[in-house]
């Protein structure tokens, strides 16, 4: 295997050759808790997806017309790390055995959640087609990936464009022991608190599954615009502004009373950052105090609702020059029960366990690196 870089420096050109790590592998270091990685991206074989697709969607998929496309912003690093490659040229994340060896074994990951988050189909305005692709993806994960390694878990992917079909898919596979949450794109046609999506939440709670949202196709398909200000001018701008989608989606879920209607529902915000949460909730609590008559179903401050019902994954963890500033923010909300480690493997800006753990104060590390996720997913 080509050597995997421990953490790419922002000063290293994307074309620089991979350098073998100078430290021992993660698994050689003792730890108190089992690591749970809440965001790993497998690369599925398109032919296997086609195998599970009915006609006419199979013919469309095989033609290469697979979704709504992307905005075309250029990332000089690419999407995935260039060094996560096997000697025969295959990507590590394309093979379940290779993924188990080179990620789970290497870094001591006890459980990992496979998130198939290429959402061009899930934001497609053609709901029948997008939902059929989601079902085929779920079948590939269940048949080809989960049986390979007992540490694998996966998200059940649905398209919110057609909630009726999303509900049907949740009921079809929602009791599978290897599927631990329902995954949707953060980019949606309407804010997620709207009643259009409530049947999805009802179905998820009936199967005791959290709802997770993941970014990636903001501005494509039904998502309309990638920022509230319009079209960004490039990848740096688009990528930096992704957390703003989470502001809007989280506030919609709270303000529309979703958690009052579905009191057992849990929501996981994947890959949306962390440090924005406390000041965002301060503002929400302040405005709720003055405007609570406009949301009479919201029976307590928004922050209390969020603290009870919402988890966030760590990657991309903020990296201020003064690490103490980040740790101060961690003391401004119940991080010990809200944050869950994620590597985002094999993406270009992913984080390995040691890097992430080092950002958090010792009293939070066991919770963040595994305990909170084990409780949420019943691992």
In angstroms, how far is the first alpha carbon of the chain from the final one? 30
Parse the chain into domains and list their residue ranges. 36-377
Assigned token pair, 279: 């000041």
User: What is the structure's pLDDT at 16?
Assistant: 34
pTM score: 0.91
pLDDT tens profile 291-309: 999 999 999 999 999 999 9
pLDDT tens profile 192-243: 999 999 999 999 999 999 999 999 888 888 887 888 888 899 999 988 998 9
36-377: CATH topology: TIM Barrel (3.20.20)
With a CB cutoff of 8 Å and minimum separation 6, the contacts of 287 are none
With a CB cutoff of 8 Å and minimum separation 6, the contacts of 138 are 156, 157, 169, 173, 179
What's the pLDDT band for 31 if we cut at 50, 70, 90? low
Q: Which residues of 253-278 are buried (b: 16+ CB within 10 A; e: fewer)?
A: bbbbbbbeebeebbbbbbbbbbbbbb
What's the pLDDT band for 43 if we cut at 50, 70, 90? very high
Residue with tokens 């869950």: 340
Beta bridge partners of 157: 183
Q: Which residues of 176-197 are buried (b: 16+ CB within 10 A; e: fewer)?
A: eebbbbbbbbbbbeebbbeeeb
Q: What is the mean pLDDT of residues 263-289?
A: 97
User: What is the structure's pLDDT at 140?
Assistant: 98
Q: In percent, how much of the chain has pLDDT > 90? A: 78
Q: What is the mean pLDDT of residues 26-32?
A: 46
- Report the candidate in 194, 128, 199 with the shortest Cα–Cα distance to residue 161: 128
Q: Is 76 exposed, middle or buried (0-12, 13-18, 19+ CB in 10 A)?
A: exposed
Assigned token pair, 378: 């019943």
User: What is the structure's pLDDT at 71?
Assistant: 76
Contact yes or no for 341/353 (Cβ under 8 A): yes
Examine the pLDDT at 170 and tell me if it is beyond 80.
Answer: yes
- Report the candidate in 108, 45, 43, 90 with the shortest Cα–Cα distance to residue 345: 43
Q: What is the mean pLDDT of residues 247-259?
A: 97
**pLDDT higher for 119 or 31?**
119
Examine the pLDDT at 275 and tell me if it is beyond 50.
Answer: yes
User: What is the structure's pLDDT at 226?
Assistant: 85
Q: What three-state secondary structure class fits 197?
A: helix
User: What is the structure's pLDDT at 2?
Assistant: 38
Q: Where are the beta strands (DSSP E) in 68-124?
A: 109-114
User: What is the structure's pLDDT at 3?
Assistant: 36
With a CB cutoff of 8 Å and minimum separation 6, the contacts of 200 are 158, 160, 163, 166, 167, 170, 182, 184, 211
Examine the pLDDT at 21 and tell me if it is beyond 80.
Answer: no
Residue with tokens 């995935």: 80
């Amino acid at each position: 295997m080509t050597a995997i870089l421990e953490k790419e420096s922002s000063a290293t050109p994307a074309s620089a050759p991979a350098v073998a790590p100078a430290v021992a592998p993660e698994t050689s270091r003792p730890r108190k808790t089992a690591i749970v990685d809440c965001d790993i991206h497998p690369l599925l074989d398109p032919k296997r997806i086609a195998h599970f697709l009915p006609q006419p969607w199979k013919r469309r998929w095989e033609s290469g017309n697979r979704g709504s496309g992307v905005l075309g912003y250029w990332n000089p690093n690419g999407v995935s790390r260039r060094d996560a490659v096997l000697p025969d040229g295959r990507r590590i994340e394309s093979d379940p055995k290779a993924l188990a060896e080179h990620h789970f074994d290497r870094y001591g990951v006890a459980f990992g959640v496979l998130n198939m988050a290429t959402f061009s189909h899930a934001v497609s305005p053609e709901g029948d087609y997008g939902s059929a692709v989601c079902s085929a993806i779920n079948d590939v994960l269940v048949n080809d990936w989960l049986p390979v390694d007992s540490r694998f878990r996966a998200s059940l992917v649905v398209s919110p464009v057609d909630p009726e079909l999303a509900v049907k898919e949740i009921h079809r596979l929602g009791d599978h022991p290897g599927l631990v949450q329902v995954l949707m794109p953060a980019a949606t046609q309407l804010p997620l608190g709207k009643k259009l999506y409530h049947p999805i939440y009802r179905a998820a709670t009936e199967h005791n599954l959290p709802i997770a949202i993941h970014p990636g196709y903001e501005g494509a398909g039904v998502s309309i615009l990638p920022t509230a200000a319009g079209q960004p001018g490039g990848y740096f701008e688009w990528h930096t502004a992704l957390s703003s989608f989470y502001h809007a989606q989280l506030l919609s879920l709270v303000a529309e009373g979703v958690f009052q209607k579905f009191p057992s529902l849990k929501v996981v915000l994947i890959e949306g950052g962390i440090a924005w949460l406390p000041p965002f909730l301060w503002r929400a609590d302040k405005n709720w105090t003055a405007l609570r008559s406009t949301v009479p179903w919201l029976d307590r401050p928004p922050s209390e609702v969020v603290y009870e019902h919402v988890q966030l994954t760590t990657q991309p963890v903020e990296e201020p020059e003064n690490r103490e500033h980040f740790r101060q923010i961690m003391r401004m909300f119940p991080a010990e029960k809200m944050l869950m480690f994620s590597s985002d493997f094999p993406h270009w800006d992913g984080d390995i366990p040691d890097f992430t753990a080092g950002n958090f104060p010792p009293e939070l590390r066991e919770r963040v690196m595994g305990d909170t996720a084990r409780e949420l997913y019943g691992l």
